[in-house]
Amino acid sequence: MKVIDKRAERNNEWHVGDVICYWNKPDKKYYGLICEIKLPTDSGFGVIDLENKTESLVSFAFPLIDDLQHLVRSEYRHVEKVNAKLIIE
């Protein structure tokens, strides 16, 4: 028997507006939104915690989105993009 994965190829590149899921323990998953930060003193990329479970990474502005991705991957054992849509009511 051969298993064929017919899902679309996964794209691991992060972009502004992507939702990510990150955790160290499977029972404590966190969700965040990648955003672009534009402050008078600094600009770059960060993650807004969508559930107020962790300190938001938006207080840190990373000049490159790759730097942000590296930090999140070094802090959490599992990090993945989520096929999600943000609905604001």
21-36 pLDDT, tens digit per residue, is: 889 988 888 888 898 8
Judge whether residue 41 has pLDDT over 70: yes
Q: Report the distance separating Cα 62 and Cα 87, nearest Å.
A: 26
Question: CA 60, 25, 53 angle in degrees (round to 5)?
Answer: 45
- Fill in the amino acid letter for 68: L
Res. 60 pLDDT band, cuts 50 70 90: low
| pLDDT for res 77 | 92
Q: Report the distance separating Cα 52 and Cα 89, nearest Å.
A: 17
| pLDDT for res 78 | 92
Q: Is residue 15 helix, strand or coil?
A: coil
Q: Is residue 89 helix, strand or coil?
A: coil
